[in-house]
Amino acid sequence: MSWISRIANAVRPGRAAAGLDDELQFHLDERIDDLIRGGVPRHEAEILARRQLGNRLSLRESSYDVKSAAWLDSLLRDFSFGLRMHAKRRTASLAAIASLALAIGACTAAFTLIDALIFRPLPLPAPGQLINLARMMPAFLSADNQPSESDSFSYPQYELLRDTAREHADLFAMRLSAGLQPVLFDDAAGASENVRAEAISGQGFEILGVKPAFGRLIQPADDSVTGGHPVAVLSYAFWSHRFGASPSAIGRWVTVDRTQFQIVGIAAGPFGGVQPGYLTDVWLPLSVAIDPRQLADPDRGSVGVWGRLNAGATPSQMRDPLQAVLTNFLRDRVRINPPRNLHGAQLQQFTDAPLHIRDASTGRDSLFRLQFLRPLGILSLICALLLLVACSNVANLMIARASARNAEMALRMSLGAARSRLIQQMLMESAQLAAAACALGLLLAALIVPSIVVRLGPTEFPAWLDAGPGSRTLAFAVALSLLTALLFGVVPALRASSVSPGYALKAGGTQNSGRMGSLRWMLAAQVGFSVAVLFLSGLLLLSFRKLIAVDLGFARDNVVLFDLAPRNPESHRTDSGAKLLEYVRHLPAVEAASLAQQRPMGGAMVWIMTPIIRFSGRANETVRPIEVPVSEGFFRAMRIRCIAGRDFLSEEIAGHSPAVIVNQAFADKFLHGRNPIGETFDKIDDGPDPVPQQIVGVVANFRYNNLREPGGPSIYTPLRDAAGATLSIRTASRSASLVPWLRAEIETAAPALTVRGSILLASQIDNTMIGERLLALLAGFFSVAALLLAGVGLYGVVNYATVRRTREIGIRIALGARRAAVVRLIVGGAAMPVVTGIALGMGAGLGLARYLASQLFGVKAADFWSLAVPLACMLIAAAAAVLPPALRAADADPLIALRCE
Amino acid sequence: MSKQDALQGSLPLLVLKILDRRGPLHGYGITAQIEAISTLLRVEEGSLYPALHRLEECGWIRAEWTTTENKRRARVYKLTPAGGKQLLDEERRWTSIAAAIGQVLEGA
């Protein structure tokens, strides 16, 4: 008999039983006929035949076991029995499902985000074959003095690498964009939009394996320095939200950097670029989009090199030949055009920097990915703890529920039920809870994920993650639910099935001593996990509070920032700054205006200059402060306190003055109490014959680049050129509404400039805290959830234990115990596990806090407040959970309590 | 339920042998046959049907419903080729065990 018929027989037991009955009936009839033929009277024959066949029911049972899948049959019985049990204790079951769903939903959401950002391969065919080239650059070439990978190559280098690698891999070039740029669509009536436009080789889409959804993609013929086609391809996601997925987008024109491109197609489906976190909106042909002179420059890194390994090829086969041609090329270049900033051995380290062939199956590590790696890791850690809270909570509930069924279990055992059978039945009940929680959790995750994705990026620079529910999310949630079912199901199942059969026979078997036993440990675990969640969340919240309240050293409100760029990229440096400032300062509503080379609070997006300087008269000593070129009036506009000396003069901006201003940190660290005003130093990078720089002023320290670090020793040099700088305008009133008008005024005053972007300083500061803000938000949510779960769990267990001791308490009261003593009895019973749990949770929290350290600001794990806040919260929650059942017990009427049998 | 390598007890062996010798039979017929051949052996009727179903489960016999001469629905069992092979194996095993036990009894 096949498995299918067995399963069918298990699902529909009636059919198999009917067949058996027919067969046995036939046997009886034949036997009776034989007996009658042998001379036995009919009614005796019937009795005799029956007796010979034996117990028909047990016969049917044993044959039935053969004919149907017994295990399935018992599972089905357990399933319907489990449902009945849940229906009977509806409130408790719903509470269990809700808390599990919350935790599973949170974990699934965290997994979905991390998977989409980090682990999920690009939605391309055979992503494992994708590679990306990079060089390990020596430490002296980077601003932070750490060796770093550079994946930028000049176009001639790329061509060389492509031709060398041909045997093993198809390479192509892409110019990825670090930010958004304004473009103009021909249906937008002259209003520019900020999009991420990236350039790709003609072969790029074919090598990646991207297919067009509409029209065509960029082809080799489009990508040619001589006679390429100015075409553009849109990503599906951008096309959907910008053009409402209308095919009429094809044929439209878009102006990027004053070149017009015609939209010829839409890239299919989920492919949104190679940097998870960022959506590439528009793709352009590389050699049309990049200026031909820049493209031809053999020394200027302008493209990234990507590719796909041929079937069977490995990166190690091609590394050596690629390294050789690249090093030879660089050695030639260094000979022809020696770089000014490298000397001696540094030159060789630069030309011989090792080439890495990186696995690009999950795309490139964008700044976004690096930025959110740790926050999302912390988020998963807290989610996992929350899941443990929920699991121990539900385990407690199951234990309590199972204890109430001790008599039933004992009866079943004494009737011959195997222990494994009882365990199976208990686990079935757990699995039902987990399954319901899994479904709800998936729903919850699907709701949470998009709202978190929105918060991952600043509004003007949105994050894009392909974080839709997929098979990976589903598999994770199901696996997690199975795991939780085991986690919270095994202990109660073992405990319930270990009851002795004799138990049922004892009088008053339902009134056990009421000791909590292993419940005590589960309770401690639950409190412990909750405290760990509270503690870690508390750290994140306290840290965020410190961060938003940090003293910046300047006034952040009513300042708007405009990034300026030359309208013509070929134009030479101008002294446009002074004129522009003069104009802007005379506009109504403008209080102050100034220029700075770098956007304030630019965070990791900003290039920091760290020149090496040498003080006059101290030949052997060099120091490396941060240099920020600013215009005169900068400190006044930002409301930064001037401590000594003066600001730059407008002549110093216009002419080429050797005046510098330093901050307090610079004076403290390098000048050792000498009067800074009048001190002079050289900037070594300025060539062999530098002009000595003279300090003319000292300003207070302020945080320029980043909220977390106090401005280190810095020098401020006069900024001459508005192009490429950031214009800060302080307005008299709220600035947001003035932005479009100011922007128009700036472009009128300086026709050679264009405004690339604008943002309120306050928003810019907020944008540097996105990760922290998100974590704080979720941490707050998780602490409330953990407290709630701990409180509900504690209440449930104490209440259960108290109810079971009703008789004992009744006797105590009847014998003259005071109310206070009864309350003390109940509270004392719960105190031990709660205190143990708090201690364990704090210990675990302190251990785990090390993982959070890089995200924390101004808070240490062992601080008073970090420890006191979660402790107090937990104690209050515990008191709120334990006191009501204790007071109820103390109020019990001894007569009723004694009669409750 | 896993297939057994050898049948437990002698009943299945007898059933297979009867079916081999007499052709297709229903359960009652098998009982009658065993009783007719040997006055010593009495089939425990209660264990016959579970045994038949187990043999069927193993694929050694096949069953189908037929109607007898006196218009009763009967379930008739038939030996399958696999059952024939199993019968040979079982017979050989039985004989060798019987021989071995005989030797021990004689030697004792």
In tens, the pLDDT along A262-288 reads: 999 999 878 888 988 888 999 999 988
pLDDT of A168: 92
Backbone phi and psi for residue A730, each to the nearest 5 degrees, phi listed first: -95, 125
Optimal mutation site among B44, B45, B56, interface A, most CBs of chain A within 10 A: B45
- What is the average per-residue pLDDT within A790-808? 82
Residue B66 touches partner A, C-beta closer than 8 Å = no
Say if residue A133's pLDDT is above 60. yes
ipTM of the prediction:
0.81
Residue A733 touches partner B, C-beta closer than 8 Å = no
Distance separating alpha carbons of residues A446 and A109, to the nearest angstrom = 7
Q: How many residues does chain B have?
A: 108
Q: Do A93 and A433 meet the contact criterion of CB atoms below 8 Å apart?
A: yes
- What is the average per-residue pLDDT within A351-372? 87
Contact B49 A23 (CB under 8 A): yes
Q: What value does the mean pLDDT of chain A take? A: 84
Angle between helices A367-404 and A518-548 (to 10 degrees): 150
Pick from A31-45, A58-72, A224-238, A764-778: least confident? A58-72
Say if residue A510's pLDDT is above 50. no
E strand or H helix that includes residue A786: helix A770-804
Contact A29 B72 (CB under 8 A): yes
pLDDT of B108: 61
Residue B54 touches partner A, C-beta closer than 8 Å = yes
What residues does A614 pair with on adjacent strands? A622, A682
Distance separating alpha carbons of residues A169 and A315, to the nearest angstrom = 9
Residue B102 touches partner A, C-beta closer than 8 Å = no
Query: In this predicted model, which residue has the larger pLDDT, A457 or A648?
Result: A648
pLDDT of B2: 36
Distance separating alpha carbons of residues A550 and A540, to the nearest angstrom = 15
pLDDT of A570: 57
pTM to 2 decimal places = 0.75
- The model's pLDDT over A690-704, given as tens digits with 9 standing for 90+, comes to 778 889 999 998 888
What residues does A726 pair with on adjacent strands? A563, A596
pLDDT of A475: 92
- The model's pLDDT over A150-170, given as tens digits with 9 standing for 90+, comes to 888 999 999 999 999 998 999
Angle between helices A419-456 and A90-114 (to 10 degrees): 50
Angle between helices B11-22 and B81-107 (to 10 degrees): 130
Contact A34 B56 (CB under 8 A): no
- What is the average per-residue pLDDT within B53-67? 85
Q: Do B33 and B19 meet the contact criterion of CB atoms below 8 Å apart?
A: no
Query: In this predicted model, which residue has the larger pLDDT, A68 or B30?
Result: B30
Say if residue A511's pLDDT is above 60. no
Residue B42 touches partner A, C-beta closer than 8 Å = no
The three-state secondary structure class of A273 is coil
Say if residue A30's pLDDT is above 70. yes
Say if residue A440's pLDDT is above 90. yes
Q: Which residues contact A832 (CB under 8 A, 6 or more apart)?
A: A520
- Go through the domains of chain B in sequence order and give each one's CATH number: 11-107 (1.10.10.10)
CA angle A258, A261, A263 (to 5 degrees): 150
Q: Do B90 and B7 meet the contact criterion of CB atoms below 8 Å apart?
A: yes
Measured between beta carbons, which residues in chain B are less than 8 angstroms from residue A19?
75
Say if residue B3's pLDDT is above 60. no
> Residue A730 corresponds to which tokens in the numbers above?
């302080």
Distance separating alpha carbons of residues A31 and A52, to the nearest angstrom = 9
Distance from the A421 Cα atom to the nearest Cα atom in chain B, whole angstroms? 17
Distance separating alpha carbons of residues A534 and A783, to the nearest angstrom = 5
Q: Do B18 and B39 meet the contact criterion of CB atoms below 8 Å apart?
A: no
Residue B74 touches partner A, C-beta closer than 8 Å = yes
Measured between beta carbons, which residues in chain A are less than 8 angstroms from residue B1?
66
pLDDT of B5: 37
Domain residue spans in chain A? Answer: 3-68, 71-120+370-507, 127-361, 519-552+768-901, 572-751
Q: What value does the mean pLDDT of chain B take? A: 80
Sheet of B61-67, strands arranged across = B25-26, B73-79, B61-67
3-state secondary structure A508-542: CCCCCCCCCCHHHHHHHHHHHHHHHHHHHHHHHHH
> Residue A279 corresponds to which tokens in the numbers above?
């959506």
Give the rounded distance of the alpha carbon of A45 from its chain centre. 81
Query: In this predicted model, which residue has the larger pLDDT, A460 or A97?
Result: A97
Percent of all residues in chain A with a pLDDT value above 70, rounded to a whole number: 89
Distance from the B50 Cα atom to the nearest Cα atom in chain A, whole angstroms? 5
Q: Note the maximum CA span of chain B.
A: 56
Measured between beta carbons, which residues in chain A are less than 8 angstroms from residue B2?
none
Give the rounded distance of the alpha carbon of A881 from its chain centre. 34
Residue B62 touches partner A, C-beta closer than 8 Å = no
Closest CB from B1, B45, B72 relative to A26: B72
Residue B46 touches partner A, C-beta closer than 8 Å = yes
- The model's pLDDT over A649-675, given as tens digits with 9 standing for 90+, comes to 877 765 566 889 999 988 888 888 788
pLDDT of A262: 93
Percent of all residues in chain A with a pLDDT value above 90, rounded to a whole number: 24
Pick from A156-170, A192-206, A336-350: least confident? A336-350
- What is the average per-residue pLDDT within A435-450? 92
CA angle A573, A575, A581 (to 5 degrees): 130
Measured between beta carbons, which residues in chain A are less than 8 angstroms from residue B54?
66
- The model's pLDDT over A539-559, given as tens digits with 9 standing for 90+, comes to 999 999 988 888 888 888 889
Q: For chain B, how far is it from start to end, CA to CA, in angstroms? A: 40
Residue B28 touches partner A, C-beta closer than 8 Å = yes
Q: Which residues contact A369 (CB under 8 A, 6 or more apart)?
A: A117, A118, A275, A276, A277
Distance from the B91 Cα atom to the nearest Cα atom in chain A, whole angstroms? 25
pLDDT band at A568 (very low <50, low <70, confident <90, very high): low
- What is the average per-residue pLDDT within A582-611? 82
What residues does A263 pair with on adjacent strands? A232
- The model's pLDDT over A53-102, given as tens digits with 9 standing for 90+, comes to 777 767 666 666 666 666 777 888 888 888 888 888 888 888 889 889 99
List, as one string, the DSSP characters of A793-832.
Answer: HHHHHHHHHHHHTHHHHHHHHHTT--HHHHHHHHHHHHHH
Closest CB from B1, B46, B74 relative to A53: B46
Contact A20 B72 (CB under 8 A): no
Buried b (16+ CB within 10 A) or exposed e, A72-106: ebeeeebeeebeebbeeeeebbebbbbbbbbbbbb
Residue B8 touches partner A, C-beta closer than 8 Å = no
Query: In this predicted model, which residue has the larger pLDDT, A231 or A828?
Result: A231
Q: Do A679 and A666 meet the contact criterion of CB atoms below 8 Å apart?
A: no
Pick from A569-583, A706-720, A827-841: least confident? A569-583
Distance from the A318 Cα atom to the nearest Cα atom in chain B, whole angstroms? 55
> Position of tokens 């007499």?
B22
- The model's pLDDT over A686-740, given as tens digits with 9 standing for 90+, comes to 566 677 888 999 999 888 877 887 778 889 988 877 788 899 999 988 777 888 8
Q: Do A538 and A864 meet the contact criterion of CB atoms below 8 Å apart?
A: no
Residue A55 touches partner B, C-beta closer than 8 Å = yes
Say if residue A460's pLDDT is above 70. no
pLDDT band at A503 (very low <50, low <70, confident <90, very high): low
Query: In this predicted model, which residue has the larger pLDDT, A109 or A682?
Result: A109
